[in-house]
Amino acid sequence: MRARASLPVRDRRQAGFSLVELLVAMVIVVEILVAGLTVFDVHNKMARVQTQITDMQQSLRIAQYDMVKTTRMAGRGALPAVFAVASTPSTTWLASRALEVRNNLIDDDDREIARGFTDSPKAIAGTDALVVRGCMSGLMFQILSADFQPDPDTPGTFDTGLLTVRRAAIAGGREQSLAQFLEAGFDAPIVLQSSVNRGQIAIVEVAAVAGDADTVVLTLDFVSQEDPPNPLIGLPDPDIVPSFLCVLEEYRYYIREHHSIPGDDSSELLPRLARARMIPGTELPHSGLLANLSLDLADEIIDLQVALGFDTDRDLDGAVPGAFDDDTDQAGNDDVLYEGADDGARALDDWLWNSGEDDPTEAQYLVNAGPPARSVRLYNVRITTVGRTSRPDPGYVAPDFDADADFDWVEDNDYDVSPANDWKQGLNRHHRRRVLQTLVDLRNI
């Protein structure tokens, strides 16, 4: 009988993994995968945060760009910036023909952007509204003195009149398009300006428009026909000989109260910086369109604060007011625009509404006391916006705006008290925030 051949012994190196080795390898692989996924998740979260921050910063830039561009044009057409204090149910503000700031709006009626207008949008409580007037986007039309025909009912005063505007005002001069006057629904006041005296202007209402692309005849009202009367309209100097005119515009910037569920104030607040275009001097939207009250410019802008820098004669060292424009030492070193280092000191500087203790009725914001007495000059408008990311990050807590541990201010808005402290509570404190501030040097005031 034939013997069976024995099988060769298998090499141990070819025997495969033992169960223990396999388990160890699986643990190592799982740890590597977990580490990789953790790194991926961290980087993914960082990417989302950076994207939200980028979006927020872009919203801030867009918001500031539009406001700054418009504010630089404030007063174009020779509108004066002689301020008067206006009072409302909840606050006081400084108002002029060229520029107006409605500070820290609280009362519901006061927060209406078009006060008393049905379905007016509202500003978020505690924020400011910036009102800018001037001939911003239109042409400065040249007119002939002979084309101005006032119709005085009483000697020395004007009630109504006619004004002819020509495409070619002067032989051989530039041609000017009259299309703006011929647009349907044209309802803006116009500014008449003398070429002899820059301070000699008249703001009048246009009652009717007739003509064509070559010649337009405007019927003028020197007494406002609006109800209530437009406070910008007034009887002009009887000696005025206008050589220029422009169409007056008004824009109001504010933080619009917008909720995730329209009409439900208990739903999530989604603030937006908005612009309203108004019939200048009135509470009526441009062209009568409700949509002109709420043109949204940027999302997630939670605050708008405006401060005004004046050339005052504030007496900081006990010397005679008016010795210098604004000195701290009477040594002749003109500080031009002095600003204090903290909230208390900022109540005694050249800036209005950079301190919670500022009072717009104080004389230094209205007239310089030094000889000769004169209206204060408005040098700068400082626009501050606060933006936040669109989504909260539960692992993040936003810091205070102010480095002082006892205070948290953005201009004169105190984020340690209501209503601004709502942004520091609940989910709101987990949003990242940024402050963007721009100093606007006025060109026309």
> What residue segments make up the domains of the chain, in order of their start?
53-126+251-441, 141-247
For residue 49, name the pLDDT band (cuts at 50, 70, 90).
confident
Give residue 271's pLDDT. 94
- In this predicted model, which residue has the larger pLDDT, 113 or 364? 113
What percentage of the chain exceeds 90 in pLDDT?
Answer: 41
Which tokens belong to 41? 């998740």
pLDDT of residue 16: 66
Quick one: average pLDDT of 339-349? 81
Of 185-194, 251-260, 332-341, which has the strongest mean pLDDT? 251-260
| Span 244-252, average pLDDT | 95
Backbone angles phi, psi at 217, to 5 degrees: -110, 120
Using a 10 angstrom Cβ sphere, with 0-12 exposed, 13-18 middle and 19 or more buried, the burial of residue 235 is middle
The pLDDT value recorded for residue 8 is 58
| Higher pLDDT among residues 405 and 245, named by residue | 245
In angstroms, the CA 285 to CA 249 distance is 11
Give residue 374's pLDDT band: very low, low, confident or very high (50, 70, 90): low
Q: Which two tokens stand for residue 424?
A: 């520091």
Q: Is the dihedral of CA 400, 406, 410, 415 positive or negative?
A: positive
Closest Cα to residue 313, out of 225, 238, 372? 372
pLDDT(94) > 90: no
Give the global pTM: 0.86
β-pairing, 377-388 with 301-311? antiparallel
Per-residue pLDDT at 332 exceeds 60: no
Q: Is residue 415 pLDDT above 80, yes or no? A: yes
Confidence band of 220 (pLDDT split at 50, 70, 90) = very high
Q: Cα–Cα distance between 83 and 100 in angstroms, integer?
A: 9
Residue 286 pLDDT exceeds 50? yes
Give mean pLDDT, residues 52-61. Answer: 89
- For residue 47, pLDDT over 80 is answered with no
The CB-side HSE value for 139 (13 A sphere, CA atoms) comes to 13
Cα→Cα distances 52→141, 255, 272, 391, Å = 46, 20, 16, 8
pLDDT value, residue 250: 97
> Across residues 37-45, what is the average pLDDT?
74
| Res 317: pLDDT | 53
